[in-house]
């Protein structure tokens, strides 16, 4: 295991097995601890990485599932070997507590091992075979086989809010590598030291497994032209992104405008509304309020599944829920946000909500610099329906309670939603009829619908869907969490009357 006390970032890019220093540098902006200098990415480095990724594709895409599974497991092993160093610099850069980084590291290695296990099973290949019918009239049928094949080099953008699980070796990288696609990562400038250590782990796994070094590159920092060069590079065949709606939409448009348009799998955030149905609110509104407060403020509210909206029917039970929510949030102290920019955006979002017509402040506090404290506001269903801006995400621990007049207005609010990652129903047995009425709306709005729970905490498993209609994500048929994520980086190929010797190994 590496000694965390002696780790100092060297600040270089990893380009196809070589650690490369750039001409310009940028300084990290840690929440605490020393700042470090890192080389700044350039379009020229992007080109070098993409060319190497294409070269690697011709061997890596035709490697066996057993070889790729061993590679994924080796990456997980190498990350664990650097556990202390990752936690040390990760907490410095992000301000996240050690326990959170340790848990996220476990999730990251767990994803890698899950995809290793998944590809060994082979179900993801969706193999199909229609045997030849030479005597069929009026026309014979040829022998047809189909299998999913890797698409080519994939670009991955590291996320600000998950230095490990959605970044250098996160879910996008793991699923692309599992599919047989080389990866070029654009590291996030919020945690370059963490990215560097994880890249060292991948570099070590490449050497251990004898994989072509072009299978992975990390480009640190850089201005907007670096991201533009990456998504527009003709050798890149798909993009994975987790981040803001504005940044994601700009990259999505660039992908669509290419001479050869490519898929952009952007997870762009959500307000994740909860609908409190009458019987549940009456029986356990206080319990729901406490759970909501915990979910809303977890990690300073910096989760894309943060449940920012609670919809409740007007009446004494709604008043009690509002009072309980306020009391549950009052003791929550200031938490460090991931970056100064995210903290500034949180304050701007708070001011936008507070200044909207018909919005009542229930809990206010003082937050400055990189700190965040919870805010709670309330409005009516009528005001919500009249002001679409109230449905825009505020990234941080801010909650908005929407008091609707009746079940009809609750359904109107549900129908007014944009695409969401999650929607939640809090209901008891007596709420079943209303739940049945809302479900067709909610399943059309969200990628994951919950009952009597809270959406923070996304299980990494076979069934998970972390995506949804736009603007939650740019591709409603995809997920960025769970084994189905591998399908983003595959395409079906049909082989007609093909001799076995020429078929992919998985079809022989």
What is the C-alpha to C-alpha distance for residues 434 and 441, in angstroms, rounded to an integer?
Answer: 12
- Per the CB < 8 A criterion, the answer to whether 203 and 218 are in contact is no
Provide the pairing of β-strand 446-451 with 420-426: parallel
What is the C-alpha to C-alpha distance for residues 456 and 162, in angstroms, rounded to an integer?
Answer: 13
User: Rg of the chain's alpha carbons, rounded to an integer?
Assistant: 24
Q: What is the pLDDT of residues 70-118, one digit of tens each?
A: 999 999 999 999 999 999 999 999 999 999 999 999 999 999 999 999 9
CA nearest neighbour of 338 among 456, 156, 188, 196: 188
- Per the CB < 8 A criterion, the answer to whether 22 and 103 are in contact is no
Q: Is 274 helix (H, G, I), strand (E, B) or coil?
A: strand
**For residue 58, with 0-12 CB atoms within 10 Å meaning exposed, 13-18 middle and 19 or more buried, which class applies?**
exposed
Q: What is the pLDDT of residues 422-474, one digit of tens each?
A: 999 999 999 999 999 999 999 999 999 999 999 998 999 999 999 999 999 99
Q: What is the pLDDT of residues 402-426, one digit of tens each?
A: 999 999 999 999 999 999 999 999 9
pLDDT > 70 fraction of the chain, expressed in percent and rounded: 99
pLDDT at residue 366, as a whole number? 75
pLDDT at residue 192, as a whole number? 97
Helix (H) or strand (E) holding 75: helix 65-81
- Taking residues 296-305, report their average pLDDT: 93
Whole-number Cα distances in Å, 326 to 2, 384, 452, 467: 45, 20, 20, 30
- Per the CB < 8 A criterion, the answer to whether 425 and 277 are in contact is yes
- Taking residues 130-155, report their average pLDDT: 97
What is the C-alpha to C-alpha distance for residues 239 and 104, in angstroms, rounded to an integer?
Answer: 23
- Per the CB < 8 A criterion, the answer to whether 203 and 441 are in contact is no
- Give the DSSP letter string of 278-302: HHHHHHHHHHHHHHHHHHHHGGGG-
pLDDT at residue 6, as a whole number? 54
Tell me, what DSSP letter sits at residue 133? B
> Per residue, what are the HEC states of 16-52?
CCEEECCCCEEECCCCCCCCCEEECCCHHHHHHHHHH
What's the sign of the alpha-carbon dihedral 293, 294, 299, 305? negative
- Taking residues 234-248, report their average pLDDT: 95
Mean pLDDT, the chain, rounded, equals 95
What's the sign of the alpha-carbon dihedral 172, 178, 180, 185? positive
- Per the CB < 8 A criterion, the answer to whether 44 and 22 are in contact is no
Q: Which of the following is catalytic: 267, 317, 393, 409?
A: 267
Q: Is 443 among the residues known to form the active site?
A: no
Q: What is the pLDDT of residues 151-194, one digit of tens each?
A: 999 999 999 999 999 999 999 999 999 999 999 999 999 999 99
Confidence of residue 370 (pLDDT cuts 50, 70, 90): confident
**For residue 408, with 0-12 CB atoms within 10 Å meaning exposed, 13-18 middle and 19 or more buried, which class applies?**
exposed
Q: Which of the following is catalytic: 50, 181, 255, 304?
A: 304
Q: Is the CATH number 3.40.309.10 carried by domain 273-451?
A: yes
Q: Is 267 among the residues known to form the active site?
A: yes
What is the C-alpha to C-alpha distance for residues 160 and 60, in angstroms, rounded to an integer?
Answer: 29
pLDDT at residue 365, as a whole number? 80
What is the C-alpha to C-alpha distance for residues 465 and 289, in angstroms, rounded to an integer?
Answer: 26
Helix (H) or strand (E) holding 494: strand 490-496
> In this structure, what token pair is assigned to residue 449?
């619908």
- Per the CB < 8 A criterion, the answer to whether 450 and 423 are in contact is yes
Q: What is the pLDDT of residues 58-69, one digit of tens each?
A: 999 999 999 999
pTM of the shown model = 0.95
Q: List all residues 6 or more positions away from 298 whose beta carbon is below 8 Å from its beta carbon.
A: 306, 456
The reply to whether 13-24+36-268+473-507 and 273-451 are identical in fold is no
Instruction: Say which residue the tokens 């994951």 belong to.
Output: 448
- Taking residues 349-373, report their average pLDDT: 90
* pLDDT over threshold 90, residue 16: yes
- Taking residues 16-20, report their average pLDDT: 97
pLDDT at residue 223, as a whole number? 84
- Per the CB < 8 A criterion, the answer to whether 218 and 197 are in contact is no
pLDDT at residue 3, as a whole number? 43
- Per the CB < 8 A criterion, the answer to whether 1 and 79 are in contact is no
Tell me, what DSSP letter sits at residue 473? B
* pLDDT over threshold 70, residue 490: yes
Domain boundaries, the chain: 13-24+36-268+473-507, 273-451
Instruction: Say which residue the tokens 């990628």 belong to.
Output: 447
Least confident of 2-16, 305-319, 375-389: 2-16
**Second-level CATH architecture of 13-24+36-268+473-507:** 3-Layer(aba) Sandwich (3.40)
**For residue 210, with 0-12 CB atoms within 10 Å meaning exposed, 13-18 middle and 19 or more buried, which class applies?**
exposed
pLDDT at residue 1, as a whole number? 41
């Amino acid at each position: 295991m590496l000694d965390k006390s002696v780790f100092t970032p060297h600040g270089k890019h990893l380009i196809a097995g070589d650690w490369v220093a750039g001409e310009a540098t940028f300084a990290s902006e840690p929440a605490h601890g020393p700042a470090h200098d890192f080389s700044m990415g350039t379009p020229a480095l992007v080109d070098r990485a993409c060319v190497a990724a294409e070269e690697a594709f011709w061997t890596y895409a035709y490697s066996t599932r057993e070889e790729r599974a061993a590679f994924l497991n080796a990456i997980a092993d190498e990350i664990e070997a650097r556990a202390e160093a990752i936690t040390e610099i990760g907490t410095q850069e992000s301000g996240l507590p050690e326990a959170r980084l340790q848990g996220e590291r476990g999730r990251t290695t767990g994803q890698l091992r899950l995809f290793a296990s998944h590809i060994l099973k082979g179900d993801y290949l969706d193999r199909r075979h229609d045997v030849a019918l030479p005597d069929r009239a009026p026309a014979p049928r040829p022998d047809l086989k189909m299998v999913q094949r890797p698409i080519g080099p994939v670009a991955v953008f590291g996320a600000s809010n998950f230095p490990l699980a959605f970044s250098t070796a996160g879910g996008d990288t793991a699923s692309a590598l599992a599919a047989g696609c080389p990866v070029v990562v654009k590291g996030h400038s919020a945690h370059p030291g963490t990215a560097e250590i994880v890249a060292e782990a991948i570099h070590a796994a490449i050497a251990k497994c004898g994989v072509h070094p072009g299978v992975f590159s990390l480009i640190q920092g850089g201005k907007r032209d670096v991201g533009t060069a990456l998504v527009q590079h003709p050798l890149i065949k798909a993009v994975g992104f987790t981040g803001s709606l504005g940044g994601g939409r700009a990259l999505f448009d660039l992908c669509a405008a290419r001479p050869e348009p490519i898929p952009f799998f952007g997870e762009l955030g959500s307000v994740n509304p909860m609908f409190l149905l009458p019987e549940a609110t009456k029986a356990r509104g206080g319990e729901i309020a406490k759970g909501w407060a915990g979910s809303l403020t977890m990690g300073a509210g910096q989760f894309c599944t943060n449940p920012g909206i609670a919809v409740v029917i007007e009446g004494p039970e709604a008043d009690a829920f509002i009072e309980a929510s306020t009391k549950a949030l009052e003791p929550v102290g200031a938490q460090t946000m991931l970056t100064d920019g995210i903290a500034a955006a949180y304050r701007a979002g708070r001011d936008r909500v507070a200044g909207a017509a018909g919005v009542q402040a229930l809990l206010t506090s003082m937050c400055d610099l990189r700190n965040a404290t919870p805010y709670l506001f309330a409005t009516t269903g009528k005001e919500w329906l009249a002001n679409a801006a109230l449905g825009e995400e505020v990234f941080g621990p801010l909650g908005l309670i929407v008091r609707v007049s009746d079940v009809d207005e609750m359904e109107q609010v549900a129908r007014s939603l944009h695409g969401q990652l999650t929607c939640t129903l809090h209901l008891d047995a007596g709420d079943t009829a209303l739940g049945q009425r809302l479900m067709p709306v909610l399943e059309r709005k969200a990628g994951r619908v919950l009952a009597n729970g809270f959406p923070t905490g996304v299980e990494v498993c076979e069934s998970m869907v972390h995506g949804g209609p736009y603007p939650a994500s740019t591709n409603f048929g995809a997920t960025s969490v769970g084994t189905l994520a591998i399908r983003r980086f595959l395409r079906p190929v049909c082989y007609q009357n093909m001799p076995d010797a020429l078929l992919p190994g998985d079809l022989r």
